[in-house]
Amino acid sequence: MQDWFAKQAAHYDESEGFMFDPAEIAKTVDVLVDLAGTGKALEFAIGTGRIGLPLAERGVEVHGIELSEPMVEQLRQKAGGAAIPVTIGDMTTTQLDATFSLVYLVFNTINNLTTQDAQVACFENAARHLEPGGVFLVEVGVPQLQRLPVGERFVPFHVGENHVGIDEYDVVTQGLWSHHVTARGKAAMPFRYVWPAELDLMARIAGMELRDRWSDWERSPFTATSEKHVSVWQTSG
């Protein structure tokens, strides 16, 4: 598994996807700066610091939890990366001895948790790290089942010169395999897709309530055709 992580980490920041576009990152960071206020932020699955680093550059004290050591090694090699405290561990169980005004989990990473129990545990662990009135933010795609003809499993999500991506849905188990084909070969990642309403219930189990749901980082309204959502749940305080 660590080998697989190492391969992923070495090429993670080479992606040409829009999530690596500096304008998209700036919009993301703007929202997170507002939500953190004068408090500290904790990024679950901080990875190579795509968001954590620019957020720290904006003056927010950022901490991270991350499963993959090779991803954190990439973070450490970037300017400012050594100054961000990162704990290697699972975001569903790892506990820091600190509380935050903001815990956030972006780039569909709630779906990396492939069981409902693990996703609930992630919400519970987020709540555990929040100050009263603190918020948990999740950015995740809306399952694209409206694009799936009855009985079919495959939805292409990106067809470009250097990358072809196809999502494979199992509507019985909420399983999702993302297949990627690049010049380096083929890879498939297992996920569990999850609906906004199911996430709201997970938040309630963890003692939080929905505060905002947008369809992007410009805080556009979430609609019937939104392909993703940025949702914010708040602890009572």
Ligand X SMILES: C[S@@+](CC[C@H](N)C(=O)[O-])C[C@H]1O[C@@H](n2cnc3c(N)ncnc32)[C@H](O)[C@@H]1O
Beta carbon nearer to ligand X, 139 or 169: 139
Piece of 47-55, 79-87, 206-214, 223-231 that binds ligand X (CB under 6 A): 47-55
Beta carbon nearer to ligand X, 118 or 181: 118
**Interface with ligand X, residue 51, by CB under 6 A:** yes
Structure tokens at 92: 């569903």
**Interface with ligand X, residue 61, by CB under 6 A:** no
Query: How many other CB atoms are there within 10 angstroms of residue 14's CB atom?
Result: 9
**Interface with ligand X, residue 91, by CB under 6 A:** yes
Contact between residue 93 and residue 67 where contact means Cβ atoms under 8 Å apart: no
Burial status of residue 6 (CB atoms within 10 A of its CB: 0-12, 13-18, 19 or more): middle
**Interface with ligand X, residue 141, by CB under 6 A:** no
Quick one: which of 50, 63, 129, 192 contacts ligand X (CB under 6 A)?
A: 50
Distance CA 162, CA 172 (A): 32
**Interface with ligand X, residue 47, by CB under 6 A:** yes
Q: What are phi and psi of 94, to 5 degrees?
A: -70, 130
Residue span 106-135 as binding mask against ligand X, x where in contact by CB under 6 A, dash where not = xx-x--x-----------------------
Beta carbon nearer to ligand X, 65 or 203: 65
Distance CA 117, CA 176 (A): 16
Dihedral sign, Cα of residue 9, residue 13, residue 16, residue 22: positive
**Interface with ligand X, residue 31, by CB under 6 A:** no
Contact between residue 233 and residue 210 where contact means Cβ atoms under 8 Å apart: yes
- Bridge partners, 180 (sequence order): 165, 187
Query: How many other CB atoms are there within 10 angstroms of residue 216's CB atom?
Result: 18
Quick one: which of 67, 103, 142, 194 contacts ligand X (CB under 6 A)?
A: 67
CB 150, min distance to ligand X, A: 30
- Bridge partners, 192 (sequence order): 175
CB 201, min distance to ligand X, A: 20
CB 57, min distance to ligand X, A: 15
Q: Where does this chain bind ligand X (CB under 6 A)?
A: 45-47, 50-51, 65-68, 71, 90-92, 106-107, 109, 112
